[in-house]
């Protein structure tokens, strides 16, 4: 039997694949709890906000890919370090997403911070 933390991580990984990589709102919506609180100021609260966001991605960035580089779980929270690329060939964005999940391992809250990946850096450590 997998732990709740592992179950929460699997939910978040499935959400990236369904919602962001496949842009499949129906599949992604099954991973969302009864109430969905969104802290990204460009996305509305609730399941309708998520639906609009996924529709916008499908229209504006059909080839967008989100690759989870690292994922951590602590209690009800999952934190993912993600490489997001809207258009193939671009450097993309380094993203840290924070999700809170309910007792059924459904996503109920989301925060994120994003940083464009620069062309040059003062060190050789990379963003991931």
Indicate if the pLDDT at residue 64 is higher than 70.
yes
Task: Tell me how far apart the alpha carbons of residues 83 and 68 are, in angstroms, rounded to a whole number.
Answer: 6
Condensed to tens digits (0 to 9), the pLDDT of residues 65-85 reads 999 999 999 999 999 999 999
Residues 110, 38 contacting (CB under 8 angstroms):
yes
Q: What H or E segment, with its residue span, contains residue 37? A: strand 32-38
Predicted confidence at residue 2, as pLDDT, reads: 72
Predicted confidence at residue 44, as pLDDT, reads: 97
Collapsed DSSP state (helix, strand, coil) of residue 115:
strand
Collapsed DSSP state (helix, strand, coil) of residue 98:
strand
Condensed to tens digits (0 to 9), the pLDDT of residues 111-125 reads 999 999 999 999 999
Tell me what the mean pLDDT of segment 43-50 comes to.
Answer: 97
CATH code: domain 4-116 is 3.10.450.50
Indicate if the pLDDT at residue 99 is higher than 70.
yes
Token pair for 72? 């951590």
Q: Is residue 1 very low, low, confident or very high in pLDDT (cuts 50, 70, 90)?
A: low
């Amino acid at each position: 039997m997998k732990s709740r933390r592992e179950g929460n991580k699997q939910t978040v990984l499935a959400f990236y694949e369904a919602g962001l990589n496949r842009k499949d709102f129906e599949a992604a919506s099954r991973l969302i709890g009864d109430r969905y609180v969104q802290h990204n100021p460009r996305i509305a609260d609730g399941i309708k906000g998520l639906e609009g966001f996924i529709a916008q991605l499908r229209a504006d960035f059909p080839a967008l890919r989100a690759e989870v580089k690292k994922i951590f779980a602590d209690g009800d929270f999952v934190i993912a370090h993600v490489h997001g690329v809207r258009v193939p060939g671009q450097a993309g964005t380094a993203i840290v997403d924070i999700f809170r999940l309910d007792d059924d391992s459904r996503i109920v809250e989301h925060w994120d911070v994003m940083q464009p990946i620069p062309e040059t850096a003062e060190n050789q450590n990379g963003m991931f």
